[in-house]
Amino acid sequence: MSLKFYKTPKEDHPWRSPVQDDTCSRYAAAAARAKKWLPPTLRFEQVVRNHTMPPCSLNDFMDYLVYVEQNAEPLQFFLWYCGYVQSWMELDAHERALVPRWDPADAEARAAAKADANRKRRGPRVAMSGRYRRARNASKVSNILEILDADGEEKEEKELLGSASPASSRPSRNFSRPSAPPGTVEAWISPPHQPFRDEVTQILNHYVDPSAPRSLGLTLRDRAAIADATAHTTHPTSLLPAFEKADAILRGHLHPNFIRSSIANTNSPTTYVLRVSAWLLLMLGFSAAAALNLCTARFALSRYWRIAPFALWAPGFAILVAAADGLSISLYFAGRRQLRPWEAQPTPAELEDASWRGRRAARRATAAASPAGDDPLRKPSLRTFGPGNGFRSEWWVRAYAKTGLWWRIFETTRPVGEGEVRVLQDGVVITAFIWAFVLAGGLAAGSVFVPAFDPWTMKQIVEASTEIPTSLLHQRGTWKLYLMLRTEPRCNG
């Protein structure tokens, strides 16, 4: 999975294909693999609860989804759904009993029965398109329903124990439905008068509708299932297909990508420069090895001088392997990271009135004054209802486009706040050093045994010792060996 950086957006709402069931299966497998290398404090649950520090806070996660992935709608819907379940749980047992839960298995049975009836009436030409794919998610649905029902039974017991208290002591709630007078409980069961009906309608218009400003990548079948469920009830299970898709793409794709981006302490221009520098060091190492090979033949140097390019190969491989994860080794040892393009930008007035030195100073001052833990609700993108997630009109996009390449490479830095990010960076740097020493050591050792070549005589030099022990000269056949070595071209070393 490649590392992603910010790129100038070409359009505010890029088109994405709907998330299919096989894609969700791949995301589930990817989420299981991600748990093996993610620290517990950086798991998805900790990030969405805002229990992490920058650069892995909830604010940073939303910024990454908006500005890099351009796919923030799953997280926005996920946060609303969690809050909606919590609000639904705060209803008393009597009110919750008026909202029936939506079991996909029952919907399957009804759809299958309807399809069978149509097939019998119209003949075999009608396909059984009403069979929804819910067998795969049956366990997840059952677990969610059991959690909701268990919590409801617990609240019922608490209410029965506290029934002696006066009714006026219960806190009043303002639901999006008119309160029904006594004796008209049956009217609450009708869909227009169910709790949170207006809010669910807003969610349908904001996230489920394909033309909505924050439309989720749902298939036609999922949208039809949600429309059928919400037409009967406002129970949280009515929106379960949308929640499953949002949860799968967040856990298996977006969250692992975000953590990889948080490990990187450089931006795209700096990473590009690091990779080019690493390749230059490697090319210099190979050039030095070739030159030493020629000098060994021409100037009778020792072959062990060919180990010298190790000093160029080792840092080259280390920088290259670390840069693959967007990591600068110098910034790693300093414990700092570069600011993202959308972070700590000065105001538009500062950009207009100040010179480039003033802009640099203003940006450093803004970065130093930024608190470590901001209120997550300060961002419009973290609010449930709002405009689309396009950001091409934001002023910092134009300001960053005018920034010179030099200042993009040597961007302002700030300390890495999250300690677990440092642990992941430790692993990247140690891996880079191991690969560097193995590859550079192998090349250096191999270059020692490469035969020398004299470009002036265009002959390969057989490197052998010129000293023949005297004891061997008295043995049979050694005189012929000595004459043979004397007639072959060779060099000392």
- pLDDT in the model for residue 324: 95
Decide: residue 14, CB within 10 A, 0-12 exposed, 13-18 middle, 19+ buried. Answer: exposed
The DSSP code for 181 is P
Look at residues 354, 350, 277 and name the one whose alpha carbon lies nearest to residue 316: 277
468 — phi, psi (to 5°)?
Answer: -105, 120
Report helix angle 310-323 to 419-448, nearest 10: 150
Per the document, the length of the chain is 493
d(Cα 422, Cα 434) in Å, to the nearest integer? 18
**Cα separations in angstroms, 63 against 343, 382, 390:** 9, 10, 12
Give the number of C-alpha atoms closer than 13 A to the C-alpha of residue 443, restricted to the C-beta side: 22
- pLDDT in the model for residue 209: 92
Q: Which residues of the chain are under the pLDDT cut of 70?
A: 1-2, 104-192, 297-298, 344-379, 453-493
Cα 86 from chain centroid (whole Å): 27
- pLDDT in the model for residue 427: 96
231-269 residue pLDDT tens: 989 999 999 999 999 999 999 999 999 999 999 999 999
Look at residues 81, 130, 140 and name the one whose alpha carbon lies nearest to residue 106: 130
Angle formed at CA 63 by CA 62 and CA 68, multiple of 5 degrees? 110
Neighbours of 356 (CB within 10 A): 11
Where do the structural domains in the chain lie, given as residue ranges? 1-6+15-157+187-263, 268-451, 462-487
d(Cα 68, Cα 6) in Å, to the nearest integer? 5
- Kindly compute the dihedral angle of the four CA atoms of residues 92, 97, 98, 104, in this order, to the nearest 10 degrees: 130
219 — phi, psi (to 5°)?
Answer: -75, 165
DSSP secondary structure string for all residues of 397-424: HHHHHTS-HHHHHT--EEE---HHHHHH
The DSSP code for 453 is E
Give the CA diameter of the chain. 125
Neighbours of 408 (CB within 10 A): 17
Burial 81-110 (b: 16+ CB within 10 A, else e): beebbeebeebeeeebebbebbbbeebbee
pTM of the model: 0.76
Look at residues 77, 20, 75 and name the one whose alpha carbon lies nearest to residue 204: 77
d(Cα 489, Cα 482) in Å, to the nearest integer? 13
Cβ contact 170:150 at 8 Å: no
**Tokens read off for 28:** 């589930």
The DSSP code for 58 is H
